[in-house]
Structure 1
Amino acid sequence: MAYFTEDASVETVNARVSESADPRLQTVMASLVRHLHAFVKDVELTQAEWDIAIDFLTKTGQICDENRQEFILLSDVLGVSMLVDAINNRRPTGATENTVLGPFHVDGVPEYELGANITQAGGRETCRFYGTVTDLDGNPVEGARIDVWSDSEDGFYDVQQPDIQPRNNNRGVFTTRPDGRYWFEGIKPVSYPIPDDGPVGKMLGKLGRHPYRPAHMHFIVSAEGFDPVTTHTFVAGDKYLTSDAVFGVKESLIAEFTPIENGETLWESNYDFVLHRAT
């Protein structure tokens, strides 16, 4: 089909792809063209609407820099990041579920002894995090590496406020003992808005959606012989649990944060991680 027509648009475009192209690329692009053309035909996209879309994508690219990736934000708020994560992290029932990594993970953070405090800038709502790391049969996992990070009580990560927060504030790495236990001190995290001053934020406003994420602590739990888990524990009762701007909440990841009576630490949160052996 050498010439483009409305009815044969998909076939015409896909016929131009060389058979020498990478097979996986052929599969992905053929499906993309098929679904994209179906969308345009379904809504009968107007020229004015397509111009708006092009302008939106252009501005999305223009706001990106080494510290901000607006396209990832767009993927997040459309649920694509969570869908890709779910497809690539299917696990048996009982294993801890994944959720999105988020944009604020940092490599090379301090490694602490169990029980250490990861909050360098102080914190009013102090919290003790603890639990176990086991396999699906309930056996403790010794030597599991637990990489944790959270926002401050003002709702910002240290990398967002390099002139205000100390480097690696509310970040740390811990290693489990033979009993699989972990514990450390931090703060009770708070809900916060994703960056909403760019095109993605304006899109959310047009859709009547808020930009907030429910309060959560980030975890990456890894151990030799097991699939690593990238996840959060979410503060039970947070008002944004059912409307997370990036769709990251899973019911199994909601954790209780319990007040501690008459203690220096005000809160505690217990969460047990269950790892699936790598195949």
Structure 2
Amino acid sequence: MFQKLAIVLAFLFINAVTSTYVPRAAPGTQFITGPCQSDADCASGCCGFNSGKCAGAVIAQERDGGCGFGDASPNNRAAQAIQGPNAEAAPGVNNNAGAAAGSNNAGNGAAAGTSPAPAVAPGTQFITGACTSDADCASGCCGFNSGKCAGAVIAQERDGGCGFGDASPNNRAAQAIQGPNAEAAPGVNNNTASAPAPAANNGAAGAAAGSGKPPGTQFITGACGSDADCASGCCGFNSGKCAGAIIAQERDGGCGFGDAQPNDNAAKALRGRRALPI
């Protein structure tokens, strides 16, 4: 009797273990929204600090407390690989602007400002912190309608632009990231907002000219016009579709759709060393 009971219990235990097992993807291949233990797991190079799920490098700064799940503090390294040194940074991310030390994975890091003016040095206030002008913010953008520091690009869609305290909104910080053709909120006078020249096709017949989405937010397999469109920082050179930075080196001829030559910049940023040759 006891022997039969032991067999039944062992069978039930094995079933419970196998039903809850989740196979781990190869490093650098996990898709956005997939579970991750570190940035290195994700094709986008970003494991949401508060979520433990792969996320777009830029949008994670707004939604997930930054990248770097499993680390002591969040980071925006993958966003910098896409947007440059002035990339968006979540509260708690030290973006070389005198930011305070980061938080733990429960998002208890930097305190958002609650007073009318930020109690921090000019140019150091975190995103979502109170501000009275663009000069207060590490991102260079004080939301025109919100009076809170915001990502320079997303503020054009969500906050009516930058420039709180000024007579009219602006997109100067977005231009510093994206160039003269940066996104501009309604009411922003973007004196150089002419349409960009069409990208080269790179031999990918029928590839879409661009994603039609905010830069740095297009998911893997989505159409793209350049690396800057993709959350992974990689627009497949031969496909014109966002791809995992590492797998693109083998499958898509590298990254850099729209450029004269392919590149492995996003793969290098993920690995922190020389990546696969293209």
**Structure (1/2) with the larger strand percentage:** 1
TM-score for the superposition, normalised by structure 1? 0.23
Larger relative contact order (Cα-Cα within 8 Å, sequence gap ≥ 6):
1
Look at both structures and tell me which one has the larger radius of gyration over its CA atoms.
1
TM-score, normalised relative to structure 2: 0.23
Give the structure with the higher percent helix.
1
